[in-house]
Amino acid sequence: MSESLSLATAPLQQEGIPVADDPIIIGFGTVYLLIVIAIGVWGWKRTDSTSDFLITGKSIGTWVLALTAFSVIQSGFGFVGGPELVYEFGTTALWIFFTAPLGFLLTWIVLAKRMRLLADIRNVLTLPDAMYVRYESEWVRGLSGLAVALGVVAYLAVNLAALQFVMRAIFGIPVIWGLLGGALILLLYSMLGGMIAGVWTDFLQALTMIVGAGFVFAYAMSFGGGMENISRNLANADPALVSPFGTLGGAETAVLVGIAWWILFSVGAAGQPHLITKFYMSRDMTILKWGAPIAAISYAISSLIAFSAGLSMRAMVEAGEREATFAASEVGPVFVLDHTGSIIAGLILAALLAAIMSTSDSFLNIGAAAIARDIPRALGRPITDDRVELRVTQAALATLTVLATIVVFYSQALVGILGAISWGFFAAAFVPIVVLGLNWKGASKWGAIAALVVGMLFNIIYNVIPEAAAITDNGAVQSANEIVMWTYPYPAEVPAEAISLLVAMIVFIFVSIAAQQFTSPERKLPDDLHPLFER
C-alpha cells in the first residue's frame, strides 16, 4: 500500500542532495544534454508520419532493441528508486532486482513473436490498436487507451522525480527548477524526435549505464569495506536488513512482500506497454531470438548500482562512518558524487539524464498516442489525416508532461514506491488481456473489458486514494482512506499492485469462460490471426 510505504519521509522536493561543483561533471552533463537535443532534432528530420513517430518505421536491430527494452525499464527508477528502496528496506528490494531479469525472458517467450506478427498482419502502432484487433471491440480499445494514459502520468512522474535530483546534482540548481527545467527540456526533446530519438538515446545511455554500474559496484565495495563488512555492519544494526526478505514488515509479512514483488516484477513485465510495444519496431522476426538474454543480463548488471550503493551507504551510516544528511531518495546521486571520481560521476549522472529523457519519451509517446489516436477511435471520432494525427499526438505530450509534473510536485511517496505503483497499474491492466489474450484462443472481449475495469479500479482504490490521503487533510479523502485500509485483507506492507494483477487475471479467465458458455454464438477468431497462436 502506498500510504504505508511512504513512511515518514519528507516530500520529494528537498535541498539535501550535494552539488557537484566540478567542471568535469558539469561538462559531462552539458554535453549529454546537447547530444540528447541533437538526437531529438535528428529524429524530427526523420519523422514524416505517425508510424515513424511511434514505432520508428520498424527499423531497429537486435542489440538496439534489447538494450532499448532494458533501459526503458531501468532508467530513473533503477538509479534513484532502486538505491532508495535498498537503503530503506535492505534486502527486500532485491526481490525486484533478482526477478525483473526473469520478466524479460518471460516477456520475450510469450509476446515477442506475437506482437511483431500483429504489426505485420494489421499494421498496428499502439497497444490499444493490438487489443482492438484481438478482441474486435471499441470498448477494449478505449479502456486500453485510458489505462495507458493514466499509467503514463504516474510512470512519467517517477522519472521527473529522479530528474530533479540529477539536475541539481550536476548543475547546482534548486530541485524545483530542476523539475521544471527538466520537464521543459523533455517536452522539447519528445515533441521533436519521437520514438526514433528515444530509441537511439536509450541505446547510448544503456551502454553507458552498464559500464558505470561496474564502476559503482567496485567503489561501493571499496568504501563499504567489502561485502562481508557491509553485511556485518547492517546485521549489527538490524539483522533483518540482510535477511532473505528484508525489513518491510515483520518476519511473516516480509515473506509475503517478497513473493508479491516476485510476482509483480517477473509476470508484470509482460504488461508494460513501453516494453512490449518495442517489438513492433524490430526489422524482422529473426532479430528477436537473442534479445531476451541481452536485455536480462544488461538489467542484472545495471542493478548493481542499486544493490551496492544502497547497502554500502546504509552500512556506512549504521557504522557511524558518515552522517545521514540525505533522504532515502537521494542515496544514488549522493553516493556517486561523494564516493566516485569526477569522470565516473560525470559519466553516470550524464547517462542518467539521457536515460530519463529517453524513457520519459517512450512514456509520452504511448500516452499521447492513447489520447490522440486510441480513445478518439474508440469513441467513433478517429483523426483520419495522418499529419493532423501526428500534430495532435505531439500536442498531447504537453498535457501529459504538465500532469506528471504536478504529481511530482505534490507527491510524498518514495520514488521507488511511485515506480512500483505505476508498474503495478500497467501489469494489472495488460498482463491478462495481452499475455493470455495472445496465447489463448478462448479469450473473450467480455473478459478483457472486465479485467481492464477491475484492474484499474483496484489500483485506484488501493493506491491512489491512500496516496491522496497522505498529502491532504480533506475529511472526505481521509474517510475514504479509512474504508480502503479496512477492506484491504493483507498487511499494509504487501503491495496492492501484485494483488490487483492476480485478481485481474482471475476475473479475465472466469469471465472469458463464462462468455463461451452464455454468449451464442461466440465470435470466431479471424483467419489472419491464427498464426499468432502457432508455436
pLDDT digits (tens, 9 = 90+) for 334-391: 888 888 878 888 887 877 776 777 677 777 888 888 888 889 999 988 877 767 777 7
Rg of the chain (C-alpha set): 22
Backbone φ and ψ for 205, nearest 5 degrees, come out as -75, -30
Asked whether the predicted pLDDT for residue 505 surpasses 90, the reply is yes
Asked whether the predicted pLDDT for residue 139 surpasses 90, the reply is yes
Which distant-in-sequence residues (6+ apart) come within 8 Å of 303 by Cβ? Answer: 74, 78, 82, 97, 100, 213
User: Residues 275-315: pLDDT tens digits?
Assistant: 898 888 887 777 677 888 998 998 888 888 888 888 999 99
Least confident stretch, 44-53, 170-179, 243-252, 293-302: 44-53
Q: Please name the residue that has the C-alpha cell 528515444.
A: 198
What is the pLDDT, as a whole number, of residue 509?
Answer: 96
Torsion angle of the four alpha carbons 376, 378, 379, 381, in this order, in degrees rounded to the nearest 10 = 50
User: Residues 446-475: pLDDT tens digits?
Assistant: 999 999 999 999 988 988 788 777 767 778
Q: 225-235 in b/e burial notation, b at 16+ Cβ within 10 A? A: beeeebbebbb
Q: Are 53 and 365 in contact (CB under 8 A)?
A: yes
- Whether this prediction's pTM lies above 0.85 is answered by no
What is the Cα–Cα distance from 182 to 382, expressed in whole angstroms? 33
What is the Cα–Cα distance from 290 to 277, expressed in whole angstroms? 17
Q: Are 212 and 59 in contact (CB under 8 A)?
A: no
For the chain, give me the number of helices (H) and strands (E)? 25, 0
At residue 270 the predicted structure's pLDDT band, cuts being 50, 70 and 90, is very high
| Mean predicted confidence (pLDDT) in 223-242 | 88
Domains of the chain (ranges plus CATH)? 12-39+63-415 (1.20.1730.10)
At residue 13 the predicted structure's pLDDT band, cuts being 50, 70 and 90, is very low
Cα-based distances in Å from 426 to 147, 217, 357, 423: 7, 31, 20, 5
Least confident stretch, 307-316, 489-498, 518-527: 518-527
Backbone φ and ψ for 137, nearest 5 degrees, come out as -140, 125
Q: Please name the residue that has the C-alpha cell 480499445.
A: 141
Asked whether the predicted pLDDT for residue 435 surpasses 90, the reply is yes
Asked whether the predicted pLDDT for residue 68 surpasses 70, the reply is yes
